[in-house]
Amino acid sequence: MPEKLLCASSDLSDTTVKICEVDGVEIGIIRHNGDVVAYKNVCPHQGGPVCEGLRMPRVCVEFDDQQRALQQNFDESEMHFVCPWHGWEFKMETGEAVGDPKIRLKRYKVTERDGEVYVEI
Amino acid sequence: MSLTGNTMNFSTDNDPAIKEFNTTKLLKNARKQAEDRNYKDFFICDVDSHHYETEALPEILQYMDDPVMRHLGLSAGNVGRAGLIPQAIGSQDMAGRVTRYAGRNKEVVPEKPHRDITLTRRWMDAMGVDMACLFPTPMLLLATHPQVEVEVAMARAYNRWLCERILEEDKRIVSMVYLPMNEPHEAEKMIDEFAEKKGVVGFLSTGYLKRPVHDSVNMRIYAKLEEHGMPLGFHAAYHWADTSLAQLNKFISVHALGFSFCNIIHMTNWVLNGMPERFPKLNTMWIESGLAWVPFLMQRLDNEYMMRTSDAPLLKKKPSDYMREMFYSSQPIELVDNKEALEVTFKMMNAESQLLYSSDYPHWDMDLPSTIHDIPFLDETAKRNILGGNAQKLFNLDPVMSEWKLEARKQG
Ligand code: FES
């Protein structure tokens, strides 16, 4: 698959998604857990700009030893892209939809070389 | 006592998704869909969309007759609506996840036309919608206000403001205006005052009412609507205080059930009390309950009706036969792993002639026209009817195409 230059390594951060356009396709790219992840900026639901919303941790529920709910909490070890159109959430690490792992964001392979980031498209 | 600082703020106003908010940008992928799918060749009418009327409350209150009530509204400040419009408990924006809620009031618009016209046109143009039927948002719960005189005064002021400031100014925006069903004689006056106004295509009953829809005091309302040839819409709403929903502990639960339940109650009363027989020329549209409730209710009512025809003596055919003659807005169309059920639903409700596309934009569960356009079992005619043709007939519309489509057509 041909490699295309996406952006400079210094453009990437782990707090803000960078949106780049390659051959008419928008790609959202961000540093995450020491890796660089890149996904097509189109939501599998109705096509929203999924990489341009908030990033939120998974919400979990804590129980006591009798399965009584104590409180909810955020689990920051699992961060999600939240699509801004309707709130579908996708695991940043894999692109899987939280509600149904069969549904995924389209992921691109990226490599960092000599201060530049390349994408296979 | 020491409090832990709240470090977990995942949706601050500084997030770029909110800070630089612009409807056209948010919906750029919708515009691409509109171009890719050639919507320039489709007339698309959205029969259920919204604005946030409380943002224009000081303007609306200028149209209110009662000076004491007007003062009450203004005294609460520009955004204050306490006392006039009931406030709902709930999290439509999912704690900021649906960014247009937090971003909306930061959106920059030109001084003219009216802000609500600019914002409405922006999403319409992005989605490829040519005409939109615009409804209020917080006022959907106005019928639950304990003071019926407040409901009437707010409704009249809002309708006047809407007609003069919005509908007069933009021929692509129409509305079914608010009908205060809890005060029938005022509702009748409202029909006389607004039926002939530009852009008024019907009247709207909202959410939870104090009396059932078949109550005798309502009959003159329906007769008057029939006389004017105006359809009546039933716009669903959820109401957490409703005792049948009170055990639900989550917004998702009360929203998922409440929005269908509300119209299930009205529809059951409407059909079993023979309203379609009493007012055969009155068209009704059932708004924002999704579609799955329709086959559910048809089956439940038909099954019991055949055993208990004596309970519903006004009916000359099965409940489902009446329901099939009514109109339904499409959103929120259930689309997750349900292709077969959806096809059956479309058949059961005669969707080709009875279903009307709606977005519900800007609310969190909005639907794009592609939710209809991309349904694999619909043929071209059905798509055209649902996306615009059925609305054109029901509302007797003179279709107005959006400028960008006309321009795109010229370019071939
Ligand atoms: S388009 Fe992404 S959540 Fe709907």
Starting at the edge strand that comes first in sequence, how are the strands of the sheet with B232-235 ordered? B45-50, B131-135, B173-178, B200-206, B232-235, B284-287, B327-329, B355-356
Give CA–CA dist B302/B306, Å, rounded: 6
Contacts of A89 in chain B (CB under 8 A): 97
Whether A53 lines ligand 1, by a CB cut-off of 6 Å, is: no
Q: Do B98 and A84 touch (CB under 8 A)?
A: yes
Q: Do B99 and A49 touch (CB under 8 A)?
A: no
Distance from the CA of A84 to the center of ligand 1, in angstroms? 7
Give CA–CA dist B285/B304, Å, rounded: 24
- Which neighbouring-strand residues pair with B337? none
At residue B3, the pLDDT reads 46
Contacts of A21 in chain B (CB under 8 A): none
Superfamily of domain B48-410: Metal-dependent hydrolases (3.20.20.140)
* Residue whose tokens read 């502990």: B249
Give CA–CA dist B27/B371, Å, rounded: 15
At residue B1, the pLDDT reads 43
Q: Model pTM?
A: 0.95
Residue B182 CA from chain centroid, whole number = 19
Where along chain B do its domains lie?
48-410
Q: Do A54 and B365 touch (CB under 8 A)?
A: no
Distance from the CA of B368 to the center of ligand 1, in angstroms? 10
> Closest Cα to residue A38, out of A50, A23, A28?
A28
Q: Taking the CA of residue B398 as centre, how many other CA atoms within 13 Å lie in the half-sphere pointing to its CB? A: 4
Residue A11 CB neighbours (<10 A): 13
At residue B243, the pLDDT reads 87
Contacts of A52 in chain B (CB under 8 A): 16-17
- DSSP assignment, residue B138? G
Q: B26, B29, B33, B123: best mutation site toward chain A, by most A Cβ within 10 Å?
A: B29
Mutation to probe ligand 1, out of A26, A43, A51 (largest number of atoms < 8 A from CB): A43
In angstroms, the Cα distances linking B189 to A31, B64, B207 are 62, 15, 21
Q: Tokens at residue B186, please?
A: 């005022």
Contact B135, B205 (CB under 8 A): no
Q: Residue B187: which H helix or E strand, with range?
A: helix B184-194
Greatest distance between any 2 Cα atoms in chain A: 55
CA dihedral A104, A105, A110, A115 (to 10 degrees): -140
Type of residue at B389: G
Contact A37, A63 (CB under 8 A): no
Q: Do A16 and B16 touch (CB under 8 A)?
A: yes
Give CA–CA dist A40/A6, Å, rounded: 13
Give CA–CA dist B105/B402, Å, rounded: 25
Walk along chain B (412 residues) and give the pLDDT tens digit of each residue: 444 444 555 666 666 667 778 999 999 999 999 999 999 999 999 999 999 998 999 999 999 999 999 988 888 655 555 688 888 888 899 999 999 999 988 899 999 999 999 999 999 999 999 999 999 999 999 999 999 999 999 999 999 999 999 999 999 999 999 999 999 999 999 999 999 999 999 999 998 899 999 999 999 999 999 999 999 999 999 888 888 899 999 999 999 999 999 999 999 999 999 999 999 999 999 999 999 999 999 999 999 999 999 999 999 999 999 999 999 999 999 999 999 999 999 999 999 999 999 999 999 999 999 999 999 999 999 999 999 999 999 999 999 999 999 999 999 7
Contacts of A48 in chain B (CB under 8 A): 29
All residues at 6 or more sequence positions from B211 whose CB lies less than 8 Å from its CB, including other chains = B181, B182, B217, B218
In degrees, to the nearest 5, what angle opens at C-alpha B161 toward C-alphas B155 and B166?
Answer: 125
Domains of chain A: 3-110 (2.102.10.10)
Could you give the percent of chain A with pLDDT greater than 70?
100
Q: Taking the CA of residue B323 as centre, how many other CA atoms within 13 Å lie in the half-sphere pointing to its CB? A: 28
* Residue whose tokens read 């195409």: B401
Among the partner residues A46, A56, A89, nearest to B371 by beta-carbon distance:
A46
Question: Please, what's the b/e burial string for B47-63 (b: 16 or more CB within 10 A of its CB; e: otherwise)?
Answer: bbbbbbbbbbbebbbeb
Distance from the CA of B29 to the center of ligand 1, in angstroms? 11
- Decide if B9 touches A, using CB distance below 8 A: no
All residues at 6 or more sequence positions from B303 whose CB lies less than 8 Å from its CB, including other chains = none
Closest atom, ligand 1, to C-alpha of A88: 3
Among the partner residues A47, A52, A56, nearest to B370 by beta-carbon distance:
A47
- Decide if A101 touches B, using CB distance below 8 A: no
DSSP string over B330-383: --S---SS-HHHHHHHHHHTTHHHHEE----TTSTT---THHHHT-TT--HHHH
Among the partner residues B8, B99, B367, nearest to A84 by beta-carbon distance:
B99
Inter-chain Cβ pairs, chain A and chain B, closer than 8 A: 56
- Decide if B96 touches A, using CB distance below 8 A: yes
B276-304 pLDDT tens trace: 999 999 999 999 999 999 999 999 999 99
Backbone phi, psi, residue A69, to 5°: -70, 130
- Roughly what angle, to the nearest 10 degrees, separates helices B184-194 and B148-161? 10
Contact B51, B165 (CB under 8 A): no
The ipTM assigned to this model is: 0.94
Backbone phi, psi, residue A54, to 5°: -80, 160
In angstroms, the Cα distances linking B170 to B118, B378, B393, B394 are 10, 32, 20, 20
At residue B280, the pLDDT reads 98
Q: Residue B117: which H helix or E strand, with range?
A: helix B115-127
Whether A47 lines ligand 1, by a CB cut-off of 6 Å, is: yes
Question: Please, what's the b/e burial string for A21-55 (b: 16 or more CB within 10 A of its CB; e: otherwise)?
Answer: eeeeebbbbbbbeeebbbbbbbbbbbbbbbbbbbb
Residue B401 CA from chain centroid, whole number = 21
Q: Do B370 and A46 touch (CB under 8 A)?
A: yes
Contact B377, B322 (CB under 8 A): no
- DSSP assignment, residue B78? T
Tell me the residues of chain A between 60 and 99 that have a Cβ less than 8 Å away from chain B.
74, 82, 84-87, 89
What spatial distance separates the first Cα and last Cα of chain B, rounded to whole Å?
71
> Closest Cα to residue B270, out of B329, B322, B231?
B322
In angstroms, the Cα distances linking B73 to B56, B116, B147, B282, B338 are 12, 20, 14, 36, 46
